[in-house]
Amino acid sequence: PRDSHLCCGSAGTYNILQPEIAGELGRRKAATLEETRPDVIVAGNIGCGKSTVSAMLAARGARVIDADQVTRQVMAVGQPAYRRIVETFGRDILASPNGPIDRPALGRIVFADPARLRLLERIVHPATREAIMAWLQEQDAAAAPGRAVAVVDAIRLIEAGYPAFCDAVWVVVCDEQEQLRRLIEDRGMSEADARQRIAAQPPQHEKAAIADVLIDNSGTRDSTAAQVDAAWHDLVANLQS
């Protein structure tokens, strides 16, 4: 079988693709991206544990690209998006004069104003999307025969309409109080900032409603690993059938 591409959605700061959601996501076919589309998305809201699931998939042989890191590269000093972001949001968002963008400072601005968030997305989306698609093409070109899964640890893929380019959707969920605790204790956010980040995203149940595989990451790491093992086994079996 051809290699699979598994997109792991990491909820965070920016959408990867324009938020043009197709009316019917059920068939998830897109001829224009047939050669580069991922077969599977793993998505979920901030603090639910997509990075944990992504790492587990890497341990099982998947190749991983972190879309948040791609976004950081797109926004780096000297890149076209950097100049446009500074022109749009002002030099107060810089960590130092002519230095890198202070992402937490920028996040406080855009998460407090949906219109400014959409403006930022229009700057960042195209370059990030292009880089991820180029990576998927490289994986197709370099892949050896047999089982190989390319994992894109990405952002808000369901809201962005990416399920139209996939054959299956995995969604990672967790208890909302646990989600809040992780953002405060593990990421060092204030409770107000954590609640703002959670509120900026559609509720978990909207993603869960279109999931082919639902992974509950509320409990122990062993519990999550057992669910990933089962889903991975089924994925490989389906690809080989």
Which pLDDT does position 123 carry in this prediction?
A: 93
Which pLDDT does position 141 carry in this prediction?
A: 74
Whole-prediction pTM: 0.74
Which pLDDT does position 91 carry in this prediction?
A: 96
Q: What residues contact 131, with CB distance under 8 A and at least 6 apart?
A: 70, 73, 74
* pLDDT tens readout for residues 199-239: 888 899 988 988 888 999 999 999 999 999 999 888 878 76
* pLDDT tens readout for residues 49-70: 988 998 898 888 777 777 778 8
Which pLDDT does position 207 carry in this prediction?
A: 86
- The mean per-residue pLDDT over the stretch 140-145 comes to 65
Q: Pick the residue with more confidence: 52 or 4?
A: 52
Which pLDDT does position 20 carry in this prediction?
A: 33
Q: Pick the residue with more confidence: 143 or 2?
A: 143
Give dist(CA 99, CA 60) in Å, integer.
38
Q: What is the dihedral of CA 221, 227, 229, 233, to 10 degrees?
A: -170
Whether residue 131 has pLDDT greater than 50: yes
Whether residue 26 has pLDDT greater than 80: no
Which pLDDT does position 165 carry in this prediction?
A: 63
Give dist(CA 139, CA 3) in Å, integer.
8
Return the percentage of the chain with pLDDT > 70, whole number: 72
Which pLDDT does position 137 carry in this prediction?
A: 79
